[in-house]
Structure 1
Amino acid sequence: MTAFFHRWREKISGSYWLKSGLFALMQRLSVSACTITTFLLLVRMLSKEAQGLYDLLMITATIFELFKIALLKNATITLTHNQETHRQQIQSASLMLNAALTGVAVLLIVGLYVVHTALPQETMEMLLFYCPALIMLVAAHHFEIQLLAAADFKSIFWVQLTRHGIIMISVSGLFLSGYAVTVADLALVQSVGVTASAITAWRLARPLILPLSADALFGWAGKILRFGRFVAGTAILSDIARSADRYLVANMAGTAGTALYSVSGRITNLTDLPASAVAEISFPKTVRAMAEEGKESVANLFEWSVAANWVFLLPVSLLIILLPEPVLRIVAGAQYTEAAPILQWMLATGLLLPFMRQFGNTMDAIGKPHLNFYINLLIAACCIAAELTLLSLAGRTGAAMGLFVGMSVGCGFAYATLRKYVPIRIAGVAMKTFNIYKQSFAFLFQKLKPTHE
């Protein structure tokens, strides 16, 4: 047994892809464990209205973070590798854009507070108390990007675990103390977690950080913006398509309706975890396959990646679709069982997401990020149109139905677009999914089969 683990340790330490994939998966699993634990405590501490309000804050903050990271990360990493002699200027330009975007967001929040908008006082206090988190994220994101440029996924794992682990521990302390927590308190908890992660990132990335340089600062900032615009636009559109239902429901049914969607979304995100990990690991392999082996190899990798996700998704999703109420009762309590139809539709949509993730990966890898952007723009428009229509016809469940309809239409357009460049086949995905099941069961039966001396 010791020899077995020793061999595996040698394989992991000697393989860039295996080691990177392992830490990427560990990061997603640990972050998910922390956020789910935090969520399970919060639904027992907050009213539906407060939970819905806090969820809207986190959705908005996540979209902003996603936009910044998408705009800066790939551009900074690519330019750093291609222009190593200008690394100092690239780092400085990236930090300037990072700080400028955050400055605009903070000034907007403070401005809204000063002019006494129609937003409720509780909402404004929550936004104001989240400003320290936004400011500290400037440093955290800057250091994380440098770690990513150095392919230091182990350090990224520790940075993310620090942030979400401290938030989980803080919420656990508030839960055990019986303190009547408010959404403003939770915004401050987020600031504490972000500050701790920024300090951790600084300690780990310190050898990679160069002194600031004003040399050609705006020129390099322009290059970063030109490079990152399609990536950022695609990321935002994708997130808007998946989050618009909660904003629309909040407008129609209040934040209590948003809480029902958030509970369902947390469960759906668990089933989406393998798709996220596979997409992150498969992207560099797709780039290399396109460069070295051509489109047939890219198509084969696409089909196997989607099949690997469906092997897990199909049984888990079907089980929860058949038994939504017991799952909701266990996860969030009896007060959220009315979210059962919402959960069922969201899980059905989740079955389409592995295809869409690999579509985006493949289009970027073959040098067509602009087409990826336009397809995601179309999907976002289809989802919002379908959600608005079905909300008026079917009530708050209609938004989840609309998301499924819009995503299904988008998948059709994505498939037709991808087929023009890569010879993928839906039948190939289905056959590979069946083969994985077949081989897995054969392996299992072989291991369970009694041996006769």
Structure 2
Amino acid sequence: MSSDKDNYWIKSGLINLIQNFSGTILSLAIFFILVRLLDKHDYGVWGLYMQTITILEFIRNGLVQSALIKFMSGSDAKEHNHIFSATLTISGSLTLVCIILNLLFAGYLADALNAPELKPMFYLYNIVFIFSGVLTQINCVEQANLKYVGVFVSNTVRQIILCLFLVVVFFGNMKTDVMTLVWVQIFCTIVGLIISWFYTRKYIHFKYVFSKGWMLRIFHYGKYAFATWVSSILAGTIDQWMLAGIISPVASGAFSIAVRIGNLIDIPTNAVATIVFPQSAKRIETEGKGAIKYLYERSVGIILAMVIPAVIFIYVFDAFFLRLLAGDKYANAVPILNVTLLYCIFGPFGRQFGVIMDSIGKTRVTSFVVILNAVVVLVLNYFLIHRYGVMGAAYSTLIANVFGFIVAQTILHKELRVNAFNALIYAYRFYPEFWNRYIRKRMPESTS
């Protein structure tokens, strides 16, 4: 049994680590090409479009994604059709509502943003929105069965297709526009859906069964996850929006460069969070809260063992990383980068807090903490940006992270007797354990 658990963590962790790393690299590649391929206006329009559709996806997925993974991974197989049908009904209804609202208000939003190109883009996005809803359902089923290869391959192929399209256009000295990019997005989503179905079809023996009880249960669980997701994405964009509004888009751009580098360090956090959620949902049903306490402390420790050396390394070579990714024009963003790097230390504690609390059914608590954190970020940004400029946004988010850490650890200690210091112990032990178990153990085989 111990060997099976080790294999799960190694294989699943490796798959998700590769997915997050490759996804970040491909996103950076897409960013670098797009910013050179499009003029400033078109790139600004594309940025507004991506922000808007990301919020739409979060609104829909926030109600069903966590609920589908949690309930399907922790329930008997005979309930799976009821769960899948209930989430499909909720997701489909939300998709229809969002499409109607999009058709009604896309023109008004485009005019308000002084970007008339957005109106046909939003209309065309309705096609993407339909396919992405089905794709999300299928990916959740795979994750609920503790498998991740399909999600990895699907997401990676989608990004590769877009990246290859941009590479061909860029190096072929051809022209493209934002509407063409939406058409490419439609094609990528359809390809991703086909790939995910290929990997997940063996877990789906679908027969639609309307269950009012499951719909209400999933809705009441998902409504807090919904608030959490929306508050989380707002908390992550408030600083850049306020910088653009209070100072200028140039200030927001400098800050976003530092955030992008921090996102590279967040790769282990995202990877481990993906595999911890279904495991914790299953263990709370079979082993109780003691196992969840260990899962939290151990997972945070493993993440910190990977994050802390990366933070130190980038601190030492901060100017080099900025020049490498953004060029000399952002060299003055080094102080911003040094502050934002500190977020990475607190990030694993906060991300795993949300994962663990959601998995044990405390989504309301997670929602409260995330909303509170978003409010703190908003208030601090308003005052500190006026006082310190761009650095004010960095200070605001750092203070909010420390505040959120204190609140989250207080709740975890009360609920599960979690001790944050234990995570540091697990982080320290990770290095010799990894050496002895996975490197030293295989050295004779490699030399024979």
Question: The TM-score by the shorter chain falls in which range?
Answer: 0.7 to 0.9
Residues 16-74 of structure 1 show CA distances to partners (whole Å, capped at 9, x for unaligned) of 45443333333323322322222232233345665454344334433432343332133
Equivalent in 31, 45, 63 of residue 23 of structure 2 = 31
- Whichever residue aligns with residue 223 of structure 1, its letter is R
Q: Residue 298 and residue 149 in structure 1: after superposition, are their counterparts in 2 closer, same or farther (change >3 A)?
A: closer
Q: Does 1:193 align with 2:185?
A: no
- The answer for the alignment partner of 1:102 in structure 2 is 95
Give 1:266 shift.
2.2
Residues 194-227 of structure 1 show CA distances to partners (whole Å, capped at 9, x for unaligned) of 12212323444445555664x5365543332123
3-state SS, counterpart of residue 399 of structure 2: helix
Q: Does 1:370 align with 2:368?
A: no
- The answer for the alignment partner of 1:111 in structure 2 is 104
Residues 219-253 of structure 1 show CA distances to partners (whole Å, capped at 9, x for unaligned) of 54333212322223223222222222122223334
3-state SS, counterpart of residue 216 of structure 1: coil
C-alpha distance in 1 between matches for 2:279 and 2:82: 30
- The answer for the alignment partner of 1:400 in structure 2 is 394
Give 1:298 shift.
4.2
- The answer for the alignment partner of 1:61 in structure 2 is 53
Q: Does 1:267 align with 2:261?
A: yes
Percent identical pairs in the alignment equals: 27
- The answer for the alignment partner of 2:243 in structure 1 is 249
C-alpha distance in 2 between matches for 1:204 and 1:436: 32
3-state SS, counterpart of residue 112 of structure 2: coil
Residue correspondence of structure 1 range 3-402 to structure 2 within 5 A: 15-47=7-39, 50-80=42-72, 82=75, 84-85=77-78, 87-115=80-108, 117-120=111-114, 121-209=116-204, 213=208, 216=210, 220-286=214-280, 298-402=292-396
Q: Is the 8 A contact 1:295 1:423 kept in 2?
A: no
C-alpha distance in 2 between matches for 1:291 and 1:244: 37
- Whichever residue aligns with residue 340 of structure 2, its letter is M
Give 1:350 shift.
1.9
Q: Is the 8 A contact 1:13 1:19 kept in 2?
A: no
Q: Is the 8 A contact 2:343 2:401 kept in 1?
A: yes
Q: Is the 8 A contact 1:167 1:192 kept in 2?
A: no
Give 1:272 shift.
0.3
Q: Residue 249 and residue 109 in structure 1: after superposition, are their counterparts in 2 closer, same or farther (change >3 A)?
A: farther
* Unaligned segments of structure 2, at least 5 residues: 442-448
C-alpha distance in 2 between matches for 1:257 and 1:126: 27
**TM-score for the superposition, normalised by structure 1:** 0.82
Q: Is the 8 A contact 2:308 2:345 kept in 1?
A: yes
Residues matched between the structures, number: 436
Q: Is the 8 A contact 1:382 1:410 kept in 2?
A: no
Give 1:192 shift.
2.4
3-state SS, counterpart of residue 133 of structure 1: helix
C-alpha distance in 2 between matches for 1:275 and 1:304: 13
3-state SS, counterpart of residue 421 of structure 1: helix
C-alpha distance in 2 between matches for 1:257 and 1:127: 28
- Whichever residue aligns with residue 54 of structure 2, its letter is T
Q: Is the 8 A contact 1:66 1:235 kept in 2?
A: yes
- Whichever residue aligns with residue 412 of structure 1, its letter is I
Instruction: Pick which of 331-340 and 262-271 moved more.
Output: 331-340
Q: Residue 77 and residue 277 in structure 1: after superposition, are their counterparts in 2 closer, same or farther (change >3 A)?
A: closer
- Whichever residue aligns with residue 97 of structure 2, its letter is V
C-alpha distance in 1 between matches for 2:405 and 2:327: 34
- Whichever residue aligns with residue 154 of structure 2, its letter is V
Q: Is the 8 A contact 1:51 1:256 kept in 2?
A: no
Q: Residue 291 and residue 221 in structure 1: after superposition, are their counterparts in 2 closer, same or farther (change >3 A)?
A: closer
Q: Residue 346 and residue 190 in structure 1: after superposition, are their counterparts in 2 closer, same or farther (change >3 A)?
A: farther
3-state SS, counterpart of residue 43 of structure 1: helix
Instruction: Pick which of 226-235 and 425-434 moved more.
Output: 425-434
C-alpha distance in 2 between matches for 1:305 and 1:142: 26
C-alpha distance in 2 between matches for 1:284 and 1:190: 29
Q: Residue 441 and residue 21 in structure 1: after superposition, are their counterparts in 2 closer, same or farther (change >3 A)?
A: closer
C-alpha distance in 1 between matches for 2:319 and 2:389: 19
* Unaligned segments of structure 1, at least 5 residues: 1-10, 448-453
- The answer for the alignment partner of 1:3 in structure 2 is none
Q: Residue 419 and residue 185 in structure 1: after superposition, are their counterparts in 2 closer, same or farther (change >3 A)?
A: same
